[in-house]
Amino acid sequence: MTDETRDATMSIWRGTKTGGRFETYTVPMVEGMVVLDVIHRIQALRAPDLAVRWNCKAGKCGSCSAEINGHARLLCMTRMNTFAPGEEITVSPMKTFPIIKDLVTDVSFNYEKAKEIPAFKPKPKEADGTRRMYQEDIDRVQEFHKCIECFLCQDTCHVIRDHEENKKAFAGPRFFVRLAALEMHPLDTNDRLELIRQKAGLGFCNITKCCTEVCPEDIHITDNAIIPLKERIVTEFYDPLAWVKRRVLSKGAQQPGPGEPEPPSAKA
Amino acid sequence: MSKEGIERHDYDVIVVGAGGAGLRAAIEASAAGAHTALICKSLLGKAHTVMAEGGIAAALGNVWKEDNWRVHFRDTMRGGKLLNNWRMAQLHAQEAPDRVLELEEWGALFDRTSDGLILQRDFGGHRYARLAHVGDRTGLEMIRILQQHAVHKGIDVYMECTLQRLLTDGGKIAGAFGYWRESGKFVLFGARAVVLATGGGGKAWKITSNSWEYTGDGIAMALDAGTDLIDMEMVQFHPTGMVWPPSVRGLLVTEGVRGDGGMLTNNEGKRFMFDYIPEFFRADTAENEREADAWYEDKKNNRRTPDLLPRDEVARAINTEVKAGRGTPHGGVYLDIASRRSPEFIKKRLPSMYQQFKQLADVDITTTAMEIGPTCHYFMGGVRVEPETAAATVPGLFAAGEVAAGMHGANRLGGNSLSDLLVFGRRAGAGAAAYASRTNARAVDDAQVEAAARSMLAPFDGEGTENPYALHAELQETMQRLVGIIRTEAELQQAIATLDVLGERVDRVTVEGNRQFNPGWHLALDLRSMITVSKACARSALMRQESRGGHTRDDYQKADPEWGKKNVVTRKRGGQLELATEPLPQIPEELRQLVLAEEKQPA
pLDDT tens-digit readout, A24-45: 999 999 989 999 999 999 999 9
Residue A5 has pLDDT above 90, yes or no: no
Question: How many other CB atoms sit within 10 Å of the CB of residue B263?
Answer: 22
User: Does residue B504 belong to any structural domain of this protein?
Assistant: yes
Does an H or E element contain B79, and which?
helix B69-79
Cβ atoms of A141 and A185 closer than 8 Å: yes
Share of chain B above pLDDT 70, in %: 98
Cβ atoms of B50 and B172 closer than 8 Å: no
Average pLDDT over residues B308-333: 97
Write a three-state SS string for B285-352: ECCCHHHHHHHCCCCCCCCECHHHCCHHHHHHHHHHHHHCCCCCCCCCEEEECCCCCCHHHHHHHCHH
- Candidate from A31, A122, A187 with C-beta closest to B245: A31
Residue A53 has pLDDT above 50, yes or no: yes
Same domain membership, residue B465 and residue B356? no
Say yes or no for a CB contact (<8 Å) between B42 and A114: no
Mean residue pLDDT of chain B comes to 96
Q: Would you state the pLDDT for residue B599?
A: 59
Rounded to the nearest 10°, the torsion over CA A181, A184, A190, A192 is 70
Q: Would you state the pLDDT for residue B462?
A: 80
Q: Give residue-wise pLDDT tens across range B361-419.
A: 999 999 999 999 999 999 999 999 999 999 999 999 999 999 999 999 999 999 999 99
pLDDT band at B292 (very low <50, low <70, confident <90, very high): very high
CATH number at residue B350: 3.90.700.10
Residue type, B144: R
CATH number at residue B507: 1.20.58.100
Round to whole Å and give the CA distance between B300 and B126: 14
State whether residue B214 is helix, strand or coil: coil
User: Does residue B506 belong to any structural domain of this protein?
Assistant: yes
Does an H or E element contain B165, and which?
strand B161-169
Residue type, B324: A
Residue B437 has pLDDT above 50, yes or no: yes
User: Does residue B291 belong to any structural domain of this protein?
Assistant: yes
User: Does residue B297 belong to any structural domain of this protein?
Assistant: yes
Q: Would you state the pLDDT for residue A250?
A: 53
**Can B258 be counted among the known catalytic residues?**
yes
Say yes or no for a CB contact (<8 Å) between A54 and B151: no
Residue A254 has pLDDT above 50, yes or no: no
pLDDT band at B328 (very low <50, low <70, confident <90, very high): very high
Round to whole Å and give the CA distance between B452 and B424: 30
Residue B66 has pLDDT above 90, yes or no: yes
Say yes or no for a CB contact (<8 Å) between A44 and B469: yes
Gyration radius from chain B CA atoms: 23
- Our CA-based measurement puts residue B109 at a distance from the nearest CA of chain A, in whole angstroms, of 7
Q: Which residues contact B543 (CB under 8 A, 6 or more apart)?
A: B233, B568, B579, B581
Residue in A74, A120, A136 to test binding to B, most B beta-carbons within 10 Å: A120
Strand extents, DSSP E, B197-266: 229-230, 235-242, 263-265
Find, among A107, A15, A108, the residue nearest to A64 by Cα: A107
- Listing DSSP states for chain A in one string gives ---TT-EEEEEEEEEETTEEEEEEEEEE--TT-BHHHHHHHHHHHT-TT-----S-SSSSS---EEEETTEEEEGGG-BGGGSPTT---EEE--SSS-EEETTEE--HHHHHHHHTSPPP-BPPPPTTS-----HHHHHHHHHHHT-----HHHHH-HHHHS-GGGGGG---HHHHHHHHHHHT-TTB----HHHHHTTS-GGG-----HHHHH-TT---IIIIIIHHHHHHHIIIII-HHHHHHHHHH-TT--PPPTTSPPPHHHH-
Say yes or no for a CB contact (<8 Å) between B360 and A58: yes
Q: Which residues contact B201 (CB under 8 A, 6 or more apart)?
A: B210, B214, B215, B216, B219, B379, B529, B530, B533, B534
Average pLDDT over residues B183-200: 98
Average pLDDT over residues B157-186: 98
Q: Would you state the pLDDT for residue B77?
A: 98
Q: Give residue-wise pLDDT tens across range A86-103.
A: 899 999 999 999 999 999
Using CA coordinates, name the residue in chain B closest to A115. Answer: B151
DSSP B493: H
Residue B532 has pLDDT above 60, yes or no: yes
Q: Would you state the pLDDT for residue A249?
A: 61
Cβ atoms of B84 and B408 closer than 8 Å: yes
Round to whole Å and give the CA distance between B547 and B552: 4
Same domain membership, residue B467 and residue B363? no
Neighboring chain B residues of A34 at a CB cutoff of 8 Å: 247, 360
Strand extents, DSSP E, B439-531: 486-487
Q: Does A180 touch chain B (CB under 8 A)?
A: no
Cβ atoms of B518 and B348 closer than 8 Å: no
Q: Would you state the pLDDT for residue A213?
A: 98
Q: Give residue-wise pLDDT tens across range B11-45.
A: 999 999 999 999 999 999 999 999 999 999 999 99
ipTM of the complex: 0.95
Write a three-state SS string for A138-162: HHHHHHHHCCCCCCHHHHHCHHHHC
Which residue among the candidates B258, B539, B548, B551 is catalytic per the annotation? B258
Mean residue pLDDT of chain A comes to 90
Residue B160 has pLDDT above 80, yes or no: yes
Question: End of a domain among B326, B358, B374?
Answer: B374
pLDDT band at A21 (very low <50, low <70, confident <90, very high): very high
Q: Give residue-wise pLDDT tens across range B249-287.
A: 999 999 999 999 999 999 999 999 999 999 999 999 999
Cβ atoms of B51 and B98 closer than 8 Å: no
Using CA coordinates, name the residue in chain A closest to B469. Answer: A44
pLDDT band at A85 (very low <50, low <70, confident <90, very high): confident
Cβ atoms of B313 and B255 closer than 8 Å: no
Buried b (16+ CB within 10 A) or exposed e, A236-259: bbeeeeeeeebeeeeeeeeeeeee
- Candidate from B247, B467, B514 with C-beta closest to A34: B247
Q: Would you state the pLDDT for residue A74?
A: 98
Residue A47 has pLDDT above 50, yes or no: yes
- The separation between CA A166 and the C-alpha centre of its own chain, rounded to angstroms, equals 16
Residue A4 has pLDDT above 90, yes or no: no
Question: End of a domain among B374, B401, B433?
Answer: B374
Which residue among the candidates B238, B442, B472, B487 is catalytic per the annotation? B238
pLDDT band at A6 (very low <50, low <70, confident <90, very high): confident
**Can B238 be counted among the known catalytic residues?**
yes
Say yes or no for a CB contact (<8 Å) between A149 and B45: yes
Q: Cis before residue A93, ω within 30 degrees of 0?
A: no
A–B interface: beta-carbon pairs under 8 A: 162
Find, among A154, A151, A146, A157, the residue nearest to A217 by Cα: A146
User: Does residue B207 belong to any structural domain of this protein?
Assistant: no
Q: Give residue-wise pLDDT tens across range A164-178.
A: 999 999 999 999 999
Question: End of a domain among B374, B394, B411?
Answer: B374
Q: Would you state the pLDDT for residue B189?
A: 98
User: Does residue B522 belong to any structural domain of this protein?
Assistant: yes
Round to whole Å and give the CA distance between B514 and B529: 22
Q: Identify the domain containing residue B268 by its residue range.
A: 240-374
Round to whole Å and give the CA distance between B466 and B471: 7
User: Does residue B100 belong to any structural domain of this protein?
Assistant: no
Higher pLDDT, A249 or B470: B470
Q: Would you state the pLDDT for residue A86?
A: 86
Structural domains counted in chain B: 2
Q: Give residue-wise pLDDT tens across range B539-564.
A: 999 999 999 999 999 999 999 999 99
List, in order of start, the domains of chain A with CATH numbers. 5-100 (3.10.20.30), 108-237 (1.10.1060.10)
Find, among A147, A144, A150, A146, the residue nearest to A54 by Cα: A150
DSSP B182: T
Cβ atoms of B118 and B56 closer than 8 Å: no
User: Does residue B108 belong to any structural domain of this protein?
Assistant: no
